[in-house]
Structure 1
Amino acid sequence: MTGVRIARWQAEDLELLRRLNVPEVRDHTGGPETDEQVVARHERYVRGHGPRSGQMFTVVLPDGRKVGSVGYGERVWHDVPVYELGWAILPDHQGRGLATAATLAALADARARGRGRHRWAHAYPSVGNAASNAVCRKAGFTLLGPTDFEYPPGRLMRSNDWRLDLADPA
């Protein structure tokens, strides 16, 4: 979708995070969180990950409406530091290419801000989440295969491991 942009997560974005905390959005990631968990997540998003370690964004339509989130953060995967990407789009805005556009913008930010900090970006959508697996494919990730992935903490889920080379200017 032309004109979709991402904007750094702000204190006033708590209500958006609450609107994203619904079964239609969270079904493949352990289900909706408690409000206490949502508020804690929001506080982490506002603080940010650090100057080069990652960032959370809102997904903004051309008319200024915020309809989702996208971001990346550092993690160690198979003993290698990587960026992990994640996204969520409000149910009434899904299926329009917004998650793919936002993911591409977040990858561009990771390349620019990371300045070669990590070579690889990964995404770990549930094997049953066809829409998020399609986002990975459309954004240029390579499917490495299924894996057991801990998300949320304490819960293993069967995910696909998608990898993208950040050294490739895409």
Structure 2
Amino acid sequence: MRLRDVRISDVDAYVRMRCDPVMMAELGGPLPREGMADKVRRDVRSAEADTDWIKMIVPDGREDGDGAGVGSGEAAGIVTLYTHTADGELISEIGWMVLPEFQGQGLGKRAVRAVLERARDDGRWGLVHAFPSVTNAASNGICRTLGFTAVGEKDVPFAGRIFRTRHWTIDPALIPCQAP
């Protein structure tokens, strides 16, 4: 598995992740297809500016394409790390999605760990928060397995909707380096 920055050619992957009822079941339901191209453009700008890390998950053995649209559907999912204001405080938040045909293969866990390791080495993110739905066993399992601390439950807005989450935190500075 490798991670790469989001590209303009990732619109189809965004549509598959964000507009699908199954993928969005834990996040209040599918989003409308309209606006996905704009969302990708905003994410590409943020990734290029290095203000947000928006990484597409590319499985081993999958051709990723040339960045001009060829092979752009090969992403298995996404992992993001960004800052925003929550309850009047600036926080760093990590989130991820893995397409159904790639779930259960450990890609989400490896991608989240890779981004946390990069955050540890970068040093600017501080304490990282995650807010998976309380009913999302797989994402809560990733948090538990990677050493996040459960803080409690919290109602969180996403795409204009409120949903109940389990609030987790982790300090990337405390993540041990893994042997190659």
User: What is the TM-score when the length of structure 2 is the normalising length?
Assistant: 0.83
Partner-residue secondary structure (3-state), 1:7: strand
**Structure 2 residue aligned with 1:57:** 55
Name which of 1, 20, 25 aligns with 2:17: 20
Contact 1:8 1:55 in 2 (8 A): yes
Bigger drift between 137-146 and 73-82 goes to 73-82
Unaligned runs of 5+ in 1: none
Q: Does 1:86 align with 2:95?
A: yes
Name which of 88, 111, 120 aligns with 2:120: 111
Matches of 2:106 and 2:123 in 1, distance apart? 28
Q: Percent identity?
A: 32
Q: How many residues align?
A: 164
**Structure 2 residue aligned with 1:133:** 140
Moved over 4 A (4+): 49-52
Q: Does 1:8 align with 2:17?
A: no
Contact 1:54 1:110 in 2 (8 A): no
Contact 2:134 2:165 in 1 (8 A): yes
Matches of 1:39 and 1:19 in 2, distance apart? 12
The residue type paired with residue 162 of structure 1 is: W
Partner-residue secondary structure (3-state), 1:63: coil
The alpha-carbon deviation at position 78 of structure 1 amounts to 4.3
Contact 1:49 1:73 in 2 (8 A): no
User: What is the TM-score when the length of structure 1 is the normalising length?
Assistant: 0.87
Matches of 1:30 and 1:43 in 2, distance apart? 23
RMSD (CA atoms): 1.8
Unaligned runs of 5+ in 2: 63-73
Partner-residue secondary structure (3-state), 2:118: helix
Which has the higher Rg, Structure 1 or Structure 2? 2
Contact 2:5 2:47 in 1 (8 A): no
